[in-house]
């Protein structure tokens, strides 16, 4: 087995273990794009696990050396992009896909900055802060994924739409994981939202605040829906199979936000997920949407826009 084939096999296992939703959507790509998506995912997953003390997205563990882990993450990433063999398959996977698709150090740095924010105990004061965080931890990944799918690195309009999908995914994550994040000492609800609803610091998970929490989750879900709609416009510019995969992922993951919204005060009684049957329905629906390729026109005016390099 060649070195690349071994890394692809490692990456395929990583996405299967780390995200059933993304694993299913990735099967819709052509073989070359699928392998490259897996390779990039493996790096993202490893960085996330390093930062949170997880194993492929499992339960978080207390990390007592976040700064050390961040330094290692930056060093291994830089070495991989420079073409060195790091000895860590996740970072070597990044090196392969970076060489094949032209991913840059700046693109990777934008993602790593999200882990740096968490390592420093960052918390959003404003809604703008929230979107900046969503950009670094997910929108910047969307940009890299779009380049892997063939979008030119200077096609800012399409890359903005790809970033929008990442932001939509992260807003859904935040809404779903409010209770889980709280148990880990994290809160991604902006201070100005908490103040608006008269919720004191560290009080958002108190039972008497459940209705207010449900209201903020609805705000997050509604915002996720707007960014998802914008991303669907960008998907129309992708090749058919890439468009199909992106639309399937948008629907599958978008359901998380929609279910949290519908769950109201009970949204955190059990972890929200999409069933296999629901995923398959989105795959079929996305196929038809990808064939028609007539997304509802959505103007990006008013949406948060990623910083330009």
Averaged pLDDT for residues 88-98: 98
CB 203 within 8 A of CB 289: no
H helices then E strands: how many in the chain?
14, 0
pLDDT for residue 54: 60
Average pLDDT over all residues of the chain: 94
Averaged pLDDT for residues 8-29: 94
pLDDT for residue 101: 98
d(CA 155, CA 136): 19
Of the listed ranges 70-74, 89-93, 181-185, 243-247, the least confidently predicted one is 181-185
Averaged pLDDT for residues 293-304: 95
Of the listed ranges 7-21, 50-64, 194-208, the least confidently predicted one is 50-64
CB 296 within 8 A of CB 229: yes
- Residues of the chain with pLDDT > 70, as a percent, come to 96
Q: Is 45 left (phi over 0), alpha (psi -120 to 50) or beta?
A: alpha
Burial grade of 52 (CB within 10 A; 0-12, 13-18, 19 or more): buried
Averaged pLDDT for residues 236-255: 97
Q: Residue 60 pLDDT more than 80?
A: no
d(CA 55, CA 46): 8
pLDDT band of 59, cuts 50, 70, 90: low
What sign does the CA torsion over 124, 129, 132, 138 have?
Answer: positive
Distances (CA, A) of 69 to 34, 58, 122, 183: 29, 18, 16, 22
Radius of gyration over every alpha carbon of the chain, rounded to an integer in angstroms = 19
pLDDT band of 121, cuts 50, 70, 90: confident
d(CA 309, CA 261): 35
Phi, psi of 270 (to 5 degrees): -150, 155
Averaged pLDDT for residues 230-244: 97
pLDDT band of 63, cuts 50, 70, 90: low
Dump pLDDT digits (tens) for 253-289. 999 999 999 999 999 999 999 999 999 999 999 999 9
All structural domains of the chain: 1-122 (no CATH), 123-309 (1.10.600.10)
Distances (CA, A) of 305 to 134, 158, 221, 294: 11, 12, 19, 24
Burial grade of 238 (CB within 10 A; 0-12, 13-18, 19 or more): buried
CB 183 within 8 A of CB 225: no
Averaged pLDDT for residues 48-71: 74
State the first-to-last Cα distance of the chain, in angstroms, to the nearest integer: 38
pLDDT for residue 183: 86
Of the listed ranges 37-41, 60-64, 110-114, 133-137, the least confidently predicted one is 60-64
- The residue count for the chain: 309
């Amino acid at each position: 087995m060649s070195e690349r084939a071994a890394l692809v096999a490692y990456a395929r296992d990583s996405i299967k273990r780390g995200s059933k939703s993304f694993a299913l959507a990735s099967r819709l790509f052509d073989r070359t794009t699928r392998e490259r998506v897996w390779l990039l995912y493996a790096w993202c997953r490893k960085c996330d696990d390093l930062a949170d003390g997880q194993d492929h997205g499992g339960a978080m563990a207390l990390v007592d050396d976040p700064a050390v882990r961040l330094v290692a993450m930056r060093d291994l990433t830089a070495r991989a992009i420079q073409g060195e063999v790091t000895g860590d398959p996740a970072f070597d996977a990044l090196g392969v896909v970076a060489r094949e698709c032209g991913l840059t150090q700046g693109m990777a740095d934008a993602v790593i900055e999200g882990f740096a924010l968490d390592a420093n105990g960052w918390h959003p004061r404003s809604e703008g802060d929230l979107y900046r965080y969503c950009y670094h931890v997910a929108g910047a990944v969307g940009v890299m994924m779009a380049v892997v799918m063939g979008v030119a690195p200077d096609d800012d309009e399409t890359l903005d739409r790809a970033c929008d999908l990442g932001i939509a995914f992260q807003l859904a994550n935040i809404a779903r994981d409010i209770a889980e994040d709280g148990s880990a000492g994290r809160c991604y609800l902006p201070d100005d939202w908490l103040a608006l609803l008269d919720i004191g610091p560290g009080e958002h998970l108190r039972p008497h605040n459940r209705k207010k929490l449900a209201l903020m989750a609805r705000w997050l879900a509604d915002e996720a829906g707007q960014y998802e709609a914008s991303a669907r416009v960008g998907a129309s510019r992708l090749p058919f199979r890439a468009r199909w995969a992106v639309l399937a992922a948008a629907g599958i993951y978008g359901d998380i936000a929609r279910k949290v919204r519908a769950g109201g005060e009970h949204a955190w009684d059990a972890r929200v997920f999409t069933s296999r049957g629901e995923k398959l329905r989105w795959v079929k629906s996305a196929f038809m949407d990808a064939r028609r390729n007539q997304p509802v026109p959505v103007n990006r005016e008013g949406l948060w826009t990623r910083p330009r390099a």
